[in-house]
Structures are given as structure tokens and as C-alpha cells.
Amino acid sequence: MLAISVSYFCYGYVAYIFFTWFFIYLNTVRKLDLKASAFYGMLPFIAMATCSPLGGIIGDFLTRRYGKRIGRCGVAGVSIAFAAFFLALGTQATDARLATVVLAGGAGALYLSASSFWSVTADLGGTSAGSVSGVMNMFNQTAGAITASLTPLLAARFGWTASFMVAATLCMVGALAWLFVDPERALGKTSEPQSKET
């Protein structure tokens, strides 16, 4: 539960950059005008809306074929790692429009993992799935609050590239955390000896 909560913290930190600062980044750093900023600012959200259900479809398919470890943990870990790659690459692009498309790819890759979080909390929590998902989501919302304040501070002191590189680093932490998640082991489940009937 701790591993998945840490991963969702990292997920939330990155997602809230797009929710709170991406439009400002396009306008003030990439120097896109208001119309271009509005257009390119939509791309991450289109990617999120597309990739969130797509991740669920891929995860369900792989779970049926290879089990929960691949279908849920594998999809989440790999997609968050790809998000790190796109975020790091996007900051290096000199063309503003290309950078926006690449960063939007990072947002989409991040959201491929969304369904895995909720599926695994249901697996782990069982009858307490609401409590488990609530704790996990608390980590996410805490990260969102931190992002809103920390991102501009990092940008002001070290530049916007540093802000996105911090996000990329957290993506890698979030991806690695999935190595410690076992969706087959429900929380609080103990193995009890079966009674023999005669």
C-alpha cells in the first residue's frame, strides 16, 4: 500500500503541473501567443482523456492473458517511465510547438497508468477498498498542493527545465515503486489452516 501511495504521489505531482502551470509555461517561457497557447494547451488534456481509458483496456487485456502482475503493475510502471522520458525530452526541444506535443505525450503516457492504481487498490483492499483508495488518493492530492507552490519556486530559482526534470525524476520513482506492489496479496489477509472434515 505504501508503494502504490508513493507512486500515486509522484503521479499527482506531475499531473498537477499540467493542471496548474502548463498554460503559463507555454505563454511566458515558450512565448506562444494567447491563441496558440490555448490550442497547444489542450493537447495534454486530449492525451489524458484518450490514454486513461486506453490504459484500462490494455491493462485488462494483459491481465487476462498474463496475470495482474503484468497487466496492472507492468502497465503502470512502464507507462510512468515513458512519461519521465517524454518530460525530459520535451524540455530539450527548441521548437515550442514540438516541445508541447512531446510534453503532451508525457501526460498521455502518465495517464495510461491511471486505471492500474484504482484496480490494484480494489485488489489489495478487498472489502476495505474504499479506505485503501482513500489513503492512496490523499497522497495524490497532497502532491497536487505541493506542485502548485513548488513548481514556480523551482522555475524562478533554477529555470523551467529544472521544474520538468524534477517531475521526470519523480516519474522514475513512481515507476520503480510498482516493483514493490503485489496485486495478488490482499491487505490483512492471513493464511489460515483449513480444517479437515471427516
Distance of CA 179 to the CA centre of its chain: 15
The cell numbers describing 154, all together, are: 523551482
Q: What is the pLDDT of residue 195?
A: 45
Which among 95, 151, 128 is positioned nearest to 1, based on CA atoms?
128
Q: Which residue has the higher pLDDT, 146 or 185?
A: 146
Q: What is the pLDDT of residue 51?
A: 97
Q: Which residue has the higher pLDDT, 89 or 184?
A: 89
What average pLDDT does the structure give for the chain?
A: 91
Q: What is the pLDDT of residue 58?
A: 97
Enter the pTM of the model.
Answer: 0.89
Q: What is the pLDDT of residue 194?
A: 46
Domain 2-29+41-180: give its CATH superfamily.
MFS general substrate transporter like domains (1.20.1250.20)
CB 2 within 8 Å of CB 136 = no
pLDDT tens-digit readout, 104-143 = 999 999 999 999 999 999 888 888 888 989 999 999 999 9
The cell numbers describing 43, all together, are: 493537447
Nearest-angstrom CA–CA distance, 173 and 86: 15
Tell me what percent of the residues of the chain surpass a pLDDT of 90: 76
Angle between helices 75-92 and 160-177 (to 10 degrees): 170
